[in-house]
Amino acid sequence: MNSSGPSQSEAIAALGERLRAARVGAGLTPVQLAEIAGVSRAAIYRYEAGHPIRVDTLGRIADQLDVSIASFLGVEVEYISSALSFFERMRQIEEKADRISVMFGPISYLLTTDQYDDLLPDVLRESVPQDVPDRTRALTEIDSLVEVLLARKRAYRARRQNLVGLLSAAELEVFCTSGFVGSQEFAGKSARCNAARAELDHIIDMLKHEPMGVQLGVLVDSMPGASFQIFRRAEHAELAISPFRLGALANVRLGVATITSAPEVVAKHEAMTEQLWNRSLKGREAAEWLSKMRARIL
């Protein structure tokens, strides 16, 4: 086995995970995919479970899901235009990771409260404009997307991997003043602002008490525009860059996310994460800074 990357059996299993994520994102059941790709239902279940798949069969499935064979094989970069597919891939990768580095604004979903989950479906529905042609499908997908997100949080709470989170003070301030909303139409309503501030209070509490396995840093100056997450397991690491947002003015419709394990790209993002971490506020100093911010915006 090559210690610098996954074994061949792990690579085949990862192909099955990518296949499942693409199928889920396309809104297809295994039976439906089997029918349009001309394979048996049992075959789809086997492939998603990590059994080998012939290249010609993979090609037929890839055509139906509008995904390149290279992307299924994890060659270079996975490009994912479906938020549902992307968060399913996040769930799959997080499940195996030992360490997670997060720069997702304004807060990491894995660290949000249960009350956040109660509001999230409404917020995501609000984010879908009334006049878009794919509105019906987008609304239908939200229930599936929320199920995937909840599964991610359950898995994280069960395993409690080491998590390093970088938070933007500026984005947190916007989150608290606009509120936990999906569109400007709902921005500023007191109940939604209170919900956002409850999440801020939760972050402040974590900074004060520093729960085991969680390290948080607060950046009070500029941050990169793109949100990203690094998953590390032994010598293997993967990088996910996302245009999708679950906080203020959520977006689960438009954008192309990328996932890669290319060593150079991962190393550059890890170096940037370390640089940002070193200049961030931490612990009680960060809690005090955010508490003053909270008092200012009330």
Residue 20 has pLDDT above 50, yes or no: yes
Phi, psi of 232 (to 5 degrees): -125, 135
User: Is 13 or 18 the better-scoring residue by pLDDT?
Assistant: 18
Report the alpha-carbon distance of residue 3 to residue 155 in Å, rounded.
26
- Give the CATH superfamily of 1-75: lambda repressor-like DNA-binding domains (1.10.260.40)
Residue-wise pLDDT for 255-264, tens only, equals 999 999 888 8
Residue-wise pLDDT for 237-254, tens only, equals 999 999 888 877 788 888
Q: Is the pTM of this model over 0.75?
A: yes
Extents of the domains making up the chain: 1-75, 77-297
Give the position of tokens 């490009």. Answer: 79
Give the position of tokens 């010609």. Answer: 56
Q: What is the pLDDT of residue 6?
A: 59
Neighbours of 160 (CB within 10 A): 11
Q: What is the pLDDT of residue 178?
A: 87
Report the alpha-carbon distance of residue 146 to residue 262 in Å, rounded.
30
Q: CA 241 → CA 89, 164, 250, 255, distances in Å?
A: 12, 16, 16, 11
Give the position of tokens 């840093």. Answer: 217
At the top level of CATH, the class of 77-297 is alpha beta
Residue 13 has pLDDT above 80, yes or no: no
Q: How confident is the model at residue 182 (pLDDT cuts 50, 70, 90)?
A: confident
Eight-state DSSP code of residue 111: G
How is residue 48 written in tokens?
């998603």
Residue-wise pLDDT for 183-224, tens only, equals 877 766 888 899 999 999 999 999 999 899 999 999 987 766
Residue-wise pLDDT for 117-173, tens only, equals 999 999 999 888 888 887 888 888 899 999 999 999 999 999 888 999 999 898 899
Handedness of CA 267, 271, 276, 281 (dihedral sign): positive
Report the alpha-carbon distance of residue 255 to residue 129 in Å, rounded.
15
Residue-wise pLDDT for 48-101, tens only, equals 888 888 888 888 888 888 888 877 876 668 889 899 999 999 999 998 899 999
